[in-house]
Amino acid sequence: MSITRLLTFENIVDQRGSLIVLEALKNIPFEVRRIYYMTNLSSDNARGFHAHKDLTQVAICLNGYCRFVLDNGSNREEIILNAPDQGLLITSMIWREMYDFSTDCVLLVLANQYYDESDYIRNYNQFLQEVNNGKN
Ligand code: TYD
């Protein structure tokens, strides 16, 4: 089964521009408790390099592009996000790395929980151990 789960949002386009609506428990498959966004990104500085024990997120590249690597401990997949009507659904226990940000990249993330540093796994070997323990 693919690790990469892409949501496609309706894009309401007319001569004035484009409008995309995100609604909790409708086109976003959870109650949104937190929203954050990243700007001033650079192609030289990758981000991420962690998994979450118990967090679900949707990442949307509002402008520009960037690449995501997703890793479930067995397989690695890579995807480019380059359209504001695409949302990348990242569930718990998925290692993610983001890189190759365009200079105009704006990356929005919706999350189903408040920020909690204790939910992070920032060590790849620890991630592999925990993900494999979960399988036994
Ligand atoms: P981090 O999640 O490590 O960023 P990325 O995965 O994009 O590289 O977060 C960077 C810093 O920001 C880190 O010190 C934690 C802090 N932070 C918060 O305080 N609240 C938040 O909601 C998030 C996402 C990060």
**Cα 93 to ligand 1 centre (Å):** 17
**Cα 47 to ligand 1 centre (Å):** 10
Q: Give 89-107 pLDDT, tens digit per residue.
A: 999 999 999 999 999 999 9
Distance set, CA 25 to CA 29, 49, 88 (Å): 5, 28, 16
- Tokens representing 118 are 């204790």
- Catalytic pick among 50, 62, 64, 65: 50
**Cα 73 to ligand 1 centre (Å):** 22
> 3-state SS string over the chain?
CCCCEEEECCEEEECCEEEECCCECCCECCCCCEEEEECCCCCCCCEEEEEECCCCEEEEEEECCEEEEEECCCCEEEEEECCCCEEEEECCCCEEEEECCCCCCEEEEEECCCCCHHHEECCHHHHHHHHHHHHC
Q: Give 38-80 pLDDT, tens digit per residue.
A: 999 999 999 999 999 999 999 999 999 999 999 999 999 999 9
CA-nearest residue, atom 13 of ligand 1: 117
pTM higher than 0.85, yes or no? yes
Q: Is 50 a catalytic residue?
A: yes
